[in-house]
Amino acid sequence: MIAYPAPATLLNSKSQQVGILSTSDHDKHLFILDAASFKRRPVVVNDNVIDVSWSPDSKLIACRTLWSRISVVNASTGQIVSTPREGGDAVLWAPDKRRFALTQPNGITIWDLQSKSKLLTLSGLKADTKSISWSKDGNYLAASGSNNENDRKARHVKVFSTTTGQETFSATGDTEIGSVGWSKDGAWFAYSDTTVHILNANSMEEVTKLRTAAAGHTVAFAWAPVQDSLAYEGPDGLLHIYDAKNKSERLTIPAEKTGSNSIQWSPDGAYLLLQDRQEQLAICDAKTGKYVGAKVFPEASIARWTPDSKKLVLADFHTESVKLVPLQLQEGQLAFAGGTAGNPWKDQKVLRNIDDCFAELDKFFEPDSLKQFKETPEDKLFLYTGGIGLGMQLRNTWGLWGNNPLVDYFNKLGIEDGHQMSTLIINAYWRHANGRPIEFEKLVEACKKSW
């Protein structure tokens, strides 16, 4: 099964059903589709659901409502079987199918489904918990977050015993923590900041550091589902596949160059799905690194594999709908009907400085919109820098939250926040477009002081 809430979040389960969250202006209803036929099954949960999590055996779904209320429902009947008295921001099931963890503003709680009671409170993370993972035997739980309620950046990773609640491991990242999690066989534990740290899961001693990024950039990674391989994207525009058992890099694959790829292994571990912020999807062979197909899907806000590794399900925020996309993964065929072959980012332009930004914006603006932009008073440029306008578009399309030469350029100027970068670019371009002295150094200093 696959659960599709919102349709903002798509979560896979092991059987062939699909949960879809249908939305309207006032209510969000969870309903289930068959993954093979995409026909609707007679299960509906009417409770303003905005997020879901399947139990490991695909029999139950934990639903989070608009008000952070948690309900566990039977996936066959839609009946509520448990409602923890405390709400949460996210739900993660334990491997034993009996327990689940709730992330909350001041920590993590673990609940027992059978007794419908809280077993433990894991303290030490006082702000929003980010990445969270159970160990393969269910004896430990790892999470990243902050230990300071006034600092909401997830700079700390902690591992807790799920029997005693005691903290068994703690580390502070040199930037925010990206991902945490155990390898498929549970032999290795990894977390990332600007480095992917791989630890022996028994001793929790660090055995490998995979340095991937310049200072200030958090890197994400993904463990393979069937082996001890780990995929991560480096600052060199390459996707790296690392073999933890043999402590060696197995493969590098040319990929998106601005650090904005998301990485997903297929459930069978044979392929990798890459997605950039331009809604480009690409699939490559995890053994050879060869791209087997790529295609732009304007509706692909989120994409997920189906459990059989033969299809993708795409979620569209704009139309609040989902789409099933069959794949052709046979030798000699393109994975996507109507798609392209080879690395879709081969000829990608990499921006490196403010002059490159000017050149791209010269091509971006249509004559009428450029005229309107130039005629906007300088003290009204917040109309472009704020909200969901040009500033957000630059942050997303140019990877200003990522790890790339343009971000490194701004970091060396002392600008480390994506919002600062986009604001600085827009203000500088306004002066450039109007033929005024840019005084870039003064704009940089003003930007630093205003944040």
pLDDT confidence of residue 85:
79
The yes-or-no verdict on residue 41 having pLDDT over 80 is: no
pLDDT confidence of residue 35:
67
- Please tell me which residue, 69 or 413, carries the higher pLDDT value: 413
The yes-or-no verdict on residue 251 having pLDDT over 60 is: yes
List of domains in the chain: 2-326 (2.130.10.10), 354-449 (no CATH)
Q: How confident is the model at residue 2 (pLDDT cuts 50, 70, 90)?
A: very low
pLDDT confidence of residue 356:
94
Spatial CA neighbour of 128 closest among 143, 145, 141, 142: 145
- Please tell me which residue, 27 or 40, carries the higher pLDDT value: 40
Burial class from Cβ neighbours inside 10 Å (0-12, 13-18, 19+) for residue 138 reads middle
Q: What residues does 219 pair with on adjacent strands?
A: none
Within 10 angstroms of residue 405's Cβ, the number of other Cβ atoms is: 18
30-44, 46-60, 424-438: which is most confident: 424-438
The span from the CA of 135 to the CA of 161, in Å, is 10
- Please tell me which residue, 147 or 133, carries the higher pLDDT value: 133
The amino acid occupying position 36 is: A
Within 10 angstroms of residue 98's Cβ, the number of other Cβ atoms is: 15
Q: How confident is the model at residue 22 (pLDDT cuts 50, 70, 90)?
A: very low
- Per the structure block, which two tokens stand in for 364? 């971006």
Average pLDDT in the chain: 84
The yes-or-no verdict on residue 247 having pLDDT over 90 is: yes
Q: How confident is the model at residue 23 (pLDDT cuts 50, 70, 90)?
A: very low
pLDDT confidence of residue 213:
55
The amino acid occupying position 94 is: A
pLDDT confidence of residue 4:
38
Q: DSSP of 149-176, one letter per residue? A: TT--S--EEEEEETTT--EEEEEE-SS-
pTM of the model: 0.82
Percentage of the chain lying above the pLDDT 90 cut: 45
The yes-or-no verdict on residue 294 having pLDDT over 90 is: yes
- Please tell me which residue, 133 or 300, carries the higher pLDDT value: 133
The span from the CA of 349 to the CA of 81, in Å, is 53
H, E, C per residue of 331-390? CCCCCCCCCECCCCCCCCCCCCCHHHHHHHHHHHCCHHHHHHHHHCCHHHCHHHHCCCCH
**SS3 (DSSP) at 399:** coil
β-pairing, 70-74 vs 80-82, is antiparallel
For 86: left if phi > 0, alpha if psi spans -120 to 50, otherwise beta; the answer is beta
pLDDT confidence of residue 437:
94
The yes-or-no verdict on residue 314 having pLDDT over 50 is: yes
The yes-or-no verdict on residue 10 having pLDDT over 50 is: no
The amino acid occupying position 227 is: Q
The yes-or-no verdict on residue 154 having pLDDT over 60 is: yes
Using one digit for the tens of pLDDT, what is the confidence trace for 158-213?
999 999 999 999 999 887 888 899 999 999 999 998 889 999 999 999 999 997 65
pLDDT confidence of residue 84:
84
The span from the CA of 99 to the CA of 117, in Å, is 10
Residues 6 or more apart whose CB falls under 8 angstroms from that of 89 comprise 64, 68, 102, 103, 104, 105, 128, 129
Q: How far is CA 330 from the centre of its chain?
A: 29
The yes-or-no verdict on residue 25 having pLDDT over 50 is: no
Q: How far is CA 30 from the centre of its chain?
A: 22
The span from the CA of 243 to the CA of 253, in Å, is 15
pLDDT confidence of residue 26:
44
Using one digit for the tens of pLDDT, what is the confidence trace for 174-187?
878 888 999 999 99
Burial class from Cβ neighbours inside 10 Å (0-12, 13-18, 19+) for residue 288 reads exposed
pLDDT confidence of residue 116:
85
pLDDT confidence of residue 6:
40
The yes-or-no verdict on residue 31 having pLDDT over 70 is: yes
The span from the CA of 267 to the CA of 244, in Å, is 19
pLDDT confidence of residue 189:
97
Percentage of the chain lying above the pLDDT 70 cut: 87
Spatial CA neighbour of 132 closest among 163, 108, 105, 162: 108
Using one digit for the tens of pLDDT, what is the confidence trace for 79-115?
888 888 787 888 899 999 999 998 887 789 999 988 8
Residue showing tokens 């799920």: 162
Using one digit for the tens of pLDDT, what is the confidence trace for 259-272?
667 899 999 999 99
Beta-sheet strands, E only, within 5-79: 11-12, 17-23, 28-34, 40-46, 49-54, 60-65, 70-74
pLDDT confidence of residue 450:
78
The yes-or-no verdict on residue 5 having pLDDT over 50 is: no
Using one digit for the tens of pLDDT, what is the confidence trace for 364-412?
899 999 999 999 999 899 888 887 789 998 988 888 877 678 888 998 8
The yes-or-no verdict on residue 123 having pLDDT over 60 is: yes
